[in-house]
Structure 1
Amino acid sequence: MGDSLHIRSEIGRLKKVMLHRPGREFLNLSPDSMGRLLFDDIPYLAAAQEEHDRFAELLRENDVEVLYLDQLVAESIASNATAREELLDGWLAQSGVSSPSVLEAVKDRLERTEDPLVLVDKLIEGIRADELELCASGACRSLADVVAAGGNERGGLLIDPIPNLYFTRDPFSIIGQGVSLNSMWSVTRRREPLFGQIVFKHHPVYAGAPVWHEPGHEASGCIEGGDILVLGPSTIGIGISERTDASGIDALAETLLWGSPASGVDRVLAFSIPRKRSCMHLDTVFTQLDVDAFLVHPGILETLKVFELTRGVSAGSTAIRSLEGMPLESVLADAIGVDSVRIYECGGGDPLAAAREQWNDGANTLAVSPGKVIVYQRNSVTNDLLYKGGFDLIEVPSSELSRGRGGPHCMSMAFEREDL
């Protein structure tokens, strides 16, 4: 059950990780839709799959068990009618279709898909308007139905795909032995946490894990997993970013600090980074390499602010302290319990290289063990800096995967690491 999850650091030897292999959802990207679906370009699916398969292969070569999100969801609904119904109802509610007759037709189409894995992959792929022939069957009873059925408002799509799901770091986050089901910033990603809800409620292995946070945009702000770093057994770092706001951090911090069962967390560090797409999440500008080493995009250093959240005097309250004036090195050393830390700058001190390679996720690394780190092959300046620093790098080909603006850390959700 929940004890199958165990994450107390970003660098302890990685034992189990969850990925999502890009699928036909990429084929439903178009120049007209990619903006609202948070893409700057359209990856070539076959090459992206080859690169992703190599990523998974490299993880396995380092004794990491690789799980796949669609398979976990399929296993959760395979023999559980309630879970299947929850998945379909939740997905349809967030589909963006308001016409009852169109929704009924879509639901009927999905309910006739018997194979659980085929169904889950279809939910991720999205539905084209020409798949159902809605009006030809007499289902359209209004002008709104006709417009929806034609997909005219979505460039031929009846229901959008979920192409960002290969960034499995974001929709939910493993912290300790529990999970934060995150509240996504963008409408296009708000169906993603639903898959985590199904897994952690119904999966035969992972059901029953403590839930530290659940989606609730109006009530508790937004928080995404790319902004959450487990710095140690009792300290969590969270970015205040383009996609995670202070209200979201407040909500998660309250549960981590005061919830039952206990999370083991007694301190949350909130890192305020530039709120723009080039920074996006904390892990796109800042990741841990070793017990005393971090990789940082230098563009955040001049404006970075850090706040410490701990338990307040009264039950359920939070004490907040600004760490302004405290060097980042000191903040991090204190957070992870070492005398000092080494900070490496993405781009190696060259501002053009830093901007270029950070855009291509040069600062977004995934440690498989202390000092052994998966990086994107294309970021040669930063990688050379890390090689010279003595790190053992595992390079992943990334010409297509990087088009979605996410690196090895973004593409993985660690389920289990050894304690340091």
Structure 2
Amino acid sequence: MALGVHSEVGKLRTVMVCRPGLAHRRLTPANCGALLFDDVIWVDRAIEDHAYFTTAMRERAIEVLEFGDLLTDVCADRVARDWILDRRIVEEEVGTGMSRELRTWLAEMRPARLAELLVGGVAKAELPFDARGLFGGYLEDSDFVIQPLVNLIFQRDPSAWIYDGVVLSPMFWPARKKEGLLLDAIYHFHPRFSGAANMWWGGDLQQHYGAETLEGGDVMSIGQGVVLMGMGERSSPQAVTQLARRLFAANGARRVIACQLAKMRTSMHLDTIFSFLDIDLVSIYPEIADRIRCTSLYPGDVPGEVRYERHEQTFLQVVAGALGVHTLRVLTTGGDTYAAEREQWDDGNNVLALDRGVVLAYDRNTYTNQKMRDAGVNVIEVPGGELGRGRGGTHCLSCPVERDPVEL
């Protein structure tokens, strides 16, 4: 089967993940907020829990691609290595005083070590040369010359597969903006991906995207050529419109449903308050989902034109209509008011479907998991005490690359 994601609940064939590692060992109480984590994590336990997560998928014959391994393969290619370093080690980022020495040092590394540092970051104290220039003198020994990309663990966001193509995300926060460069290198140079998929949008992350920001947690290919796109804290209407135009021009989708969310960390992405469990069964956090306003985007009569239709219906009614089902079966976050708010915060509504009615979910969300089981869902629990400290569940931890369509 060709690469592509054709539903949210069809059989998952291939998925990309990124295990915790060096980047997370650099998290401290002082820097975790700027790096978008709520707390430091117990890294060794997080590694064990992530291995549990990936093993659960491999046991169901799902191909699991590890980001670090893919990046190591790419860094072994001299052309690809130069391509990355030409874009990552630039004077605008590391100053004029050390850019040449830093690039030379990195270029001579073994592929695995280079891949580790591109994700894990480099502190001034680790440099084998004197950090000259104004920037070098400005930094303390513990400051980063290359920032750690701690959020790459949440592989959902820096790219998203939409039917038979992929989009690279121009991301919202500075802490995440460099992730796309490494994904771009993997999609461009790795033999598993090179030439194997359409690049819908975002292929040149050196471009200035202005107010166009988009993250994969806001993107869901739900089938029938329909794509849901959240617009909240991270993804902007400018980006949604631009991506819709690109999809329509390439016949990559026939309809985009823009879902306007409250701009808050609790609902940073659409998938933090809404997940599919089966074709017609969804998990939602109603306190936020009930306030979503929807607008559908369609191809216009003129190439490049987009037609808009604002909906008075509820979010769930719009989604049901797009799928051609009369109503969706709805499971709300479990427990009383207090428990529901806690479990939404702990990603109770952010679950990954491995197939129809089979999901991976964090073990800590006991009330919500039981409601899913009562509805006939096979819930495979994953330890979530450490992995969730950056506010992401199993849906966030994964980037599906191949997923079957479903018959509606």
Does the alignment reach a TM-score above 0.5? yes
Q: After superposition, where does 1:308-387 map in structure 2 within 5 Å?
A: 308-324=296-312, 326-348=313-335, 350-387=336-373
Instruction: Give the whole-Å Cα distance in 2 for the aligned partners of 1:377 and 1:301.
Output: 23
- Secondary structure of 1:211's counterpart equals strand
Pair 1:10-2:5 in alignment: no
1:24 paired residue number: 22
Task: Classify 1:397/1:338 alpha carbon distance in 2 versus 1 (closer, same or farther; 3 Å).
Answer: same
Summarize deviations over 1:120-154 as a string: whole Å, max 9, x none. Answer: 1111110111111543xxx52x4443113x35xxx
Contact 2:293 / 2:315 at 8 angstroms: preserved in 1?
no
Instruction: Give the whole-Å Cα distance in 1 for the aligned partners of 2:185 and 2:69.
Output: 12
Displacement, 1:60?
A: 0.8
Instruction: Give the whole-Å Cα distance in 2 for the aligned partners of 1:226 and 1:93.
Output: 29
Contact 1:34 / 1:40 at 8 angstroms: preserved in 2?
yes
Task: Classify 1:182/1:121 alpha carbon distance in 2 versus 1 (closer, same or farther; 3 Å).
Answer: same
2:243 paired residue number: 252
Pair 1:69-2:57 in alignment: no
1:274 paired residue number: 262
* 1:113 corresponds to which of 101, 109, 115: 109
Letter in structure 2 aligned against 1:249 = V
Summarize deviations over 1:231-264 as a string: whole Å, max 9, x none. Answer: 11400000001000000101111111113xx31x
TM-score, normalisation: structure 1:
0.92
1:54 paired residue number: 52
Displacement, 1:104?
A: 2.2
- Secondary structure of 1:390's counterpart equals coil
Displacement, 1:333?
A: 1.4
- Secondary structure of 2:368's counterpart equals helix
Structure 1 residues without counterparts, runs of 5 or longer: none
* 1:38 corresponds to which of 23, 36, 39: 36
Displacement, 1:343?
A: 1.2
- Secondary structure of 2:350's counterpart equals coil
TM-score, normalisation: structure 2:
0.94
Pair 1:228-2:223 in alignment: no
- Secondary structure of 2:385's counterpart equals coil
Summarize deviations over 1:369-420 as a string: whole Å, max 9, x none. Answer: 0111111100011111111111111100111001111000000000111222
Question: What RMSD, in angstroms, separates the aligned Cα atoms of the two structures?
Answer: 1.7
- Secondary structure of 2:16's counterpart equals strand
Instruction: Give the whole-Å Cα distance in 2 for the aligned partners of 1:267 and 1:32.
Output: 44
Contact 2:68 / 2:116 at 8 angstroms: preserved in 1?
yes
Summarize deviations over 1:138-183 as a string: whole Å, max 9, x none. Answer: x52x4443113x35xxx53332200000100000011112110110
1:211 paired residue number: 199
1:132 paired residue number: 127
Letter in structure 2 aligned against 1:236 = V
Instruction: Give the whole-Å Cα distance in 2 for the aligned partners of 1:300 and 1:22.
Output: 30
Pair 1:299-2:287 in alignment: yes
Letter in structure 2 aligned against 1:83 = A
Tell me the number of residue pairs that the alignment of Structure 1 and Structure 2 aligns. Answer: 402
Contact 1:4 / 1:206 at 8 angstroms: preserved in 2?
no
* 1:90 corresponds to which of 75, 87, 91: 87
Summarize deviations over 1:256-310 as a string: whole Å, max 9, x none. Answer: 1113xx31x1000011111111111111111111010111111213421011000
Task: Classify 1:95/1:382 alpha carbon distance in 2 versus 1 (closer, same or farther; 3 Å).
Answer: farther
2:175 paired residue number: 188
Structure 2 residues without counterparts, runs of 5 or longer: none
2:394 paired residue number: 408
Contact 2:3 / 2:164 at 8 angstroms: preserved in 1?
yes
Contact 2:225 / 2:254 at 8 angstroms: preserved in 1?
yes
**Identity of counterpart residues, as a percentage?**
35
- Secondary structure of 1:218's counterpart equals coil
Displacement, 1:24?
A: 0.9
